[in-house]
Amino acid sequence: MIGGTVIKKKIGILSYRFPPLEGRDADFCLSFFKNLRRFDIDSYIITHKGFRNGTGNIKDISKKYIYRIRDSFIFNFLRRYAVFRELLRIILFPDQFASWIANAIIKGIHIIKEKKITHLFVMTPPASNLLIAYFFNLFTKVHLIIYIADLWTENPYLKLKRRYHFPIARRLEKSVLSKAKIILCASKKYIPILEKNSIDPHKCHFIPFGFDTRSFKNIKPMKLKKYTILHAGTIYPGKYVNPVHLFKAVRLLLDERADLQRHFQIVFCGKYPNYVEDLISRMGLENIVVLKGYLPKKRALKYILSSDLNLLLLYPRRGTEIIIPSKIYEYMKSGKKVLGLVPKNGISGKMINKHNLGRVIHPDNINEIKEYIINQIERYLKKKSDKKINKFDLDKFERFNITKKIVRLIENT
């Protein structure tokens, strides 16, 4: 109930990933599902039935609310053979997750009609979800609420596999978004881009990923013996999320201040490509950099709460200035300083400055990065405490309040 009004609606949530799998999309959809229940709104999950290994906790959710749909049989059969796996990688459209589209459309339409779902929350990427949502709307007239976590055709991380895919993808994207009642954007900067592509900006709203306070419950920080710089999340191949500039600064730091070597460490929690280990070896940083690899959500949050400085990496390139990495919200919740090696004029850099989260430095400014880290280590050794983030500023990023905002948008549509 909001403002004394009971919402008599049923909401479906279409997400390729859902717990026990973990990750940004799965985590948000789980929070959204649980928060809708707090508003007495019936909701159902339509998700992919794939690899089930993960540590996401859904023991308190009845299975009757979760519908897991398999890939089409033919794709599972073809994937047994290497030659067909490569062929599928090339021809699948709109993305590598397209193998569940047919089953999802057929079974999803039945679920929407049977449960009398009135609104469908669509998490994208993957772009396959947009195609599925298009057919759901076509055959059931369900109202679409599309959450754009990352843009599709304007995504700097994504290169479409074939040149002819782009105009097809652009038309599909426009067709689906035009049918949406509400478009939710993880970055404010997405809205003018969508408007340029003839999408009505009045139905577009900024909805941050935020954080779920419940995720931090009963997590006690560790007592780390060294000043700890932490990066939580995946390091990607390529230039966009790359620690090379940080490593260069640390190498320079060690060459100038070898006395600090035993007093600090840099910890990476998340998947990383092989080149990261090669970089560490080439630069002689084996005693400084700790690669933890993928960690369950609770364990990663424990490191975020325990670190002294949380790291945001996003190299300035076309398109990166509009991106807000979702980890920034959990960094905010931790109350620890953030070092953003991100575009200074980008939305992430402005966010760090606006909320006094820490410092923004251009990744190419190796000397400034080095001096900042030296300064922070010396403050740590002198036991000088840092000012905490103003907790009042965090309320609008709490996922319960984010859900409340989405529900109000649904009420008014």
Q: What is the CATH number of the domain that holds 130?
A: 3.40.50.2000
Mean pLDDT check: name the lowest of 161-165, 257-261, 277-281, 383-387: 161-165
Structural tokens at position 241: 């999320």
Q: Is the C-alpha dihedral spanning 275, 328, 384, 298 positive or negative?
A: negative
Residue 176 predicted with pLDDT over 60: yes
Question: Residue 18: what residue type?
Answer: F
Q: pLDDT value at position 320?
A: 86
Q: Is residue 1 domain-resident?
A: no
Residues 303 and 372 in one domain: yes
Q: Which helix (H) or strand (E) holds 45?
A: strand 42-48
Residues 243 and 192 in one domain: no
Residue 61 predicted with pLDDT over 50: yes
pLDDT of 2-44, one tens digit each? Answer: 544 444 789 999 999 999 888 899 999 999 999 999 999 999 9
Residues 52 and 197 in one domain: yes
Q: Is residue 59 domain-resident?
A: yes
Q: Is residue 14 domain-resident?
A: yes
Residue 87 predicted with pLDDT over 80: no
Question: Quick one: how far is CA 390 from the chain centroid?
Answer: 24
Q: pLDDT value at position 36?
A: 95
Is residue 51 very low, low, confident or very high in pLDDT (cuts 50, 70, 90)? low
Nearest to 327 by CA among 362, 293, 297, 291: 297
Cα–Cα dist 142/133, whole Å: 9
Q: Which helix (H) or strand (E) holds 2?
A: none
Q: pLDDT value at position 5?
A: 47
Mean pLDDT check: name the lowest of 19-28, 41-50, 166-175, 364-373: 166-175
Q: Is residue 206 domain-resident?
A: yes
Residues 16 and 139 in one domain: yes
Cα–Cα dist 320/342, whole Å: 9
Is residue 94 very low, low, confident or very high in pLDDT (cuts 50, 70, 90)? confident
Residues 183 and 203 in one domain: yes
Residues 263 and 305 in one domain: yes
Residue 172 predicted with pLDDT over 50: yes
Instruction: Please count the residues of the chain.
Output: 413
Residues 310 and 406 in one domain: no
Residue whose tokens read 């290169």: 159
Residue 182 β-bridge partners: 145
Residues 184 and 274 in one domain: no
CB atoms within 10 A of CB 244: 15
Mean pLDDT check: name the lowest of 31-45, 129-143, 377-391: 377-391
Residues 158 and 238 in one domain: no
Diameter of the chain by CA atoms?
68
Residues 165 and 232 in one domain: no
pLDDT of 181-217, one tens digit each? Answer: 999 999 999 999 999 988 999 999 999 999 999 999 9
CA–CA–CA angle 138, 140, 141 (5° rounding): 70
Q: Is residue 169 domain-resident?
A: yes
Q: Residue 165 to residues 97, 160, 185: CA-CA distances in angstroms?
A: 15, 6, 24
Q: Is residue 407 domain-resident?
A: yes
Structural tokens at position 139: 């055959």
Residue 162 predicted with pLDDT over 90: no
Q: Which helix (H) or strand (E) holds 364?
A: none
Q: pLDDT value at position 189?
A: 94
Q: Is residue 161 domain-resident?
A: yes
Q: Give residue 96's domain range.
A: 10-210+398-411
Cα–Cα dist 397/387, whole Å: 20
Cα–Cα dist 94/171, whole Å: 12
Residues 222 and 87 in one domain: no
In total, how many domains does the chain have?
2
Q: pLDDT value at position 169?
A: 80
pLDDT of 308-320, one tens digit each? Answer: 999 999 988 888 8
Residues 206 and 230 in one domain: no
- Please state, rounded to an integer, the average pLDDT across all residues of the chain: 89
Q: Is residue 4 domain-resident?
A: no
